[in-house]
Amino acid sequence: MRNRRRSIKKQPESSPPPASPAAHAAPPMPSPSPKSPGSPALDPAPEVLIPPDWASATASISSELSPPVVLVCGPANSGKSTFSRLLLNSLLPRYGRVGYLDTDVGQPEFSPPGCLSIHVVDEAIADPRYPVLREAERCCFYGDISSKRDPETYLNSVFLLYTYFVEKYRCTGSQVLPLIVNTPGWVKGTGFDMLVEMLRYICPTIVVQIRTRMQRKNLPDGLFWLDDDQTGSNVITIDAACHKSLSGESLKRKDGGGTRERRLVEYFKQCFPSDISLATNKELAYALASLPPYEVPFSDVKVMHLHCEVPRTEIWRSLNATIVGLVNSGDTAQAAHTAPWCVGLGIVRGIDVQRGLLYVITPVPVECLESVDLLLQGLIEIPRSVMQVKGCVSPYMPTNVRDKITEKDLYARNLNSPLAIQNGDSDSDSDADM
C-alpha cells in the first residue's frame, strides 16, 4: 500500500455541497482567534508578576554553560505549564530554538488532547499564562486523557519522542538544543512510578520541582528517583505561585473538561482558511457539517482500537462519530515501534459499509494524508458543541442513513453562518433561533 497512491479524496458532488475553499486543500495552521480561551489577545499581554524564586530559577537555567535538559514536575495545579512557558521564553534569546516535550495527555501544551508530542519552538509565547496550538515535529496519539489506562504504551511513547529529539538535536554534529520536559500532575501511586521511569530514562541535567503548601501532595525531596549512592541531576525547588503572582489567574483550578473541548474546537477550526470568521461554536458546527469530507476506502486503511476491544463485525461501524489519530504505520523509522507517528486528528463523519467507505474531515494537508494507512481510535470525544447542529439532521449519523434521505433534508441552510454569507446567501429567516 505504501508504494501506490492512496484513494483518499474529497466526496463527489452528490454529497453535501462544498461550503468553503477549505474543501480543496487544508490551510496552514492559522493564528488562534482573539476570542479563543487558550489564545493570546491581539492587545499586548497584561503584565505578569513572576515570583522571585521562579525568576531566579529561569535565570539560573538560562545561564548554564551547555544547553540543558530540564524536567519540570510537581502536583496538579502547581504551575508546571506556566513555569515551562516562562523558561522557554527565557531560553529562546540565547539558543534561538528550544525543544519542548509535552507529556501531559490530559492538558497538552501545544497539541490537542490525547496526544504526546515533541516541538521545536523558535518564537516566544506572547502570554505565558496561556498555551496556543502549534504544529508538532513528531506526535504520538495515545487516545485518552489519562496515562493510567495504559502506562506501558504511555511511557513507550514518551521514550520514543525523547529518543527522536536526542538523535536529531543532541548528538555530535548537530546543533545542540535545550529541551524542556513538562510532566503531568499525577504524582502519587502509579503516577509516581511512571515519573520515576521518565526521570531515569531521560536523565535530565536539571529537575525543577514545584512544591505546594499541602506537603502530602508534594514529591519527595532530592534525587528521589535514584538509589542513595547515585548522583545525577541538579534539583531546583520552587514554590507554587500564590496570591498576586502571575495575576492570580494561574492559581484557579483548571477546568480540565472545558479546556480540552476548547482545544479540540480550535484544532478543527483549522479545517478552514483563517479569513473565515468562526467566532462561535455554533458557526463551527455548521461549517463542519457542510464541509465535504475525504472519502477513504476501507481497503486503504487499517483500524486499531487503543483502549477497548471491538467485535470484528463492528470495527467499521464503531468508528462513526469518533475522533481518530491519522497514522503512517509503514514509516521506516517507526517500523520496530508500537507507537507510530501521528500526522493529526480526524473526525469520522459517516460510514458506508455497503460501499466500503469512510467519510473523514481533518485539517491535515492532503500531501500528508496520502501516507496515512492506519486509524487509531481512542476515547477522545467530539465536543458536544460541535455535534449539535440545530436545523440539520446530524452529519454524524448511523451507517448508510445518508443514502435514505435527500441532500435538502440532510443539510438545512444556516443563513447566519459565515459560510452561507460567503456563498452569497441572504434571507429574512437568517435570525432563526439555533
- Please check whether the domain covering 9-30+276-431 is classified as CATH 2.40.30.330: yes
Closest C-alpha among 161, 148, 227 to residue 191: 148
Q: Boundaries of CATH 2.40.30.330 in the chain? A: 9-30+276-431
- 199 Cβ contact list (under 8 Å, min separation 6): 71, 207, 225, 233
Q: Which residues contact 258 (CB under 8 A, 6 or more apart)?
A: 37
Q: Report how far apart, in Å, the C-alpha atoms of 11 and of each of 15, 117, 299, 345 are.
A: 6, 31, 17, 19
The DSSP 8-state label assigned to residue 9 in this structure reads E
Residue ranges of the chain assigned to CATH 3.40.50.300: 52-257
In whole angstroms, give the CA distance from residue 415 to residue 186: 46
pTM to 2 decimal places: 0.78
Residues 374-422 pLDDT 10s: 999 999 999 888 876 666 655 564 433 334 334 443 333 333 333 333 3
State the helix-helix crossing angle for 281-290 and 256-269, rounded to 10 degrees. Answer: 50
Distance CA 88, CA 104 (A): 17
| Residue-by-residue DSSP string for 64-110 | -SS--EEEEE-STTSSHHHHHHHHHHHHHHHHS-EEEEE--SSS-SS
Alpha carbon 156 to chain centroid, angstroms: 18
Burial call 181-197: b when 16+ CB within 10 Å, e when fewer = bbbbbbbeeebeebbeb
Amino acid present at 88: L
Nearest to 281 by CA among 382, 143, 421: 382
Q: Alpha-carbon distance 230 to 246, whole Å?
A: 37
**pLDDT tens string 97-140:** 999 999 999 989 999 999 999 999 999 998 887 778 999 999 99
Q: Using CA atoms, how far apart are residues 168 and 171, in angstroms rounded to an integer?
A: 7
Fold entry, domain 52-257: Rossmann fold (3.40.50)
CA distance 10 to 23: 8
| pLDDT, tens digit only, all 434 positions of the chain | 333 334 455 544 334 333 333 333 333 333 333 333 344 333 444 456 889 999 999 999 999 999 999 999 999 989 999 999 999 999 999 999 999 999 999 989 999 999 999 999 999 998 887 778 999 999 999 999 999 999 999 999 999 999 999 999 998 777 899 999 999 999 999 999 999 999 999 999 999 999 999 999 999 998 999 876 667 789 999 999 864 555 544 444 556 678 888 899 999 999 998 888 888 888 888 888 888 899 999 999 999 999 888 888 888 888 988 999 999 887 544 444 456 899 999 999 889 989 999 999 999 999 999 889 999 999 999 988 887 666 665 556 443 333 433 444 333 333 333 333 333 443 333 333 33
